[in-house]
Amino acid sequence: MNSKTAVDMSRFSLSCGLRSARLMMLSLAIGLASLVTAGPVAAASSEWAVNEGGRMRLILLPETGDGVRHGALVIEPKPGWITYWKEPGDVGIPPAITPAPGVSYTVDSVGFPVPKVLMNGDMIDVGYDHPVTLPLTLKDAPNTSGVTLSAFVGVCQNICIPFQADLTVPADEGGTANPVEAALIASAQSKVPPGPSPDFHVIGHELKLDNKELVIRLKMPVSAEVPRVFVSGPSGHVFVKASMTAGASGETVLTLPIKKLPKKYRIAGKHWGILVVSDSRAMETVLAFE
Which residues form the domain of 109? 49-190
Backbone angles phi, psi at 102, to 5 degrees: 85, 0
Whether residues 103 and 154 share a domain: the answer is: yes
Whole-angstrom Cα Rg for the chain: 26
CATH of the domain at 98: 2.60.40.1250
In a domain, 90, yes or no: yes
Whether residues 263 and 282 share a domain: the answer is: yes
Whether residues 54 and 25 share a domain: the answer is: no
In a domain, 195, yes or no: no
Q: Among residues 190, 218, 242, which one ends one of the domains?
A: 190
Strand locations in the chain, DSSP E?
A: 49-51, 54-60, 68-77, 82-89, 96-99, 106-110, 116-120, 123-128, 132-139, 147-156, 160-169, 201-208, 213-219, 228-232, 238-239, 243-246, 252-257, 271-278, 281-288
Give 137's contacts (C-beta < 8 A, 6+ positions apart).
68, 69, 70, 71, 107, 108, 109
Whether residues 160 and 266 share a domain: the answer is: no
Per-residue pLDDT of the chain (290 residues; tens, 9 = 90+): 444 334 333 433 433 343 344 334 333 333 333 333 333 334 489 999 999 999 999 999 998 888 899 999 999 999 999 999 999 998 889 999 999 888 999 999 999 999 999 987 788 899 999 999 999 999 999 888 899 999 999 999 988 899 999 999 998 767 778 899 999 999 999 999 999 999 999 999 999 998 999 999 999 988 768 899 999 999 889 999 999 999 999 899 999 999 889 988 999 999 999 999 998 899 999 999 98
In a domain, 44, yes or no: no
Whether residues 75 and 179 share a domain: the answer is: yes
CATH of the domain at 230: 2.60.40.2320
Starting from the edge strand earliest in sequence, which strands make up the sheet with 228-232, in order? 238-239, 228-232, 271-278, 281-288
Whether residues 175 and 54 share a domain: the answer is: yes
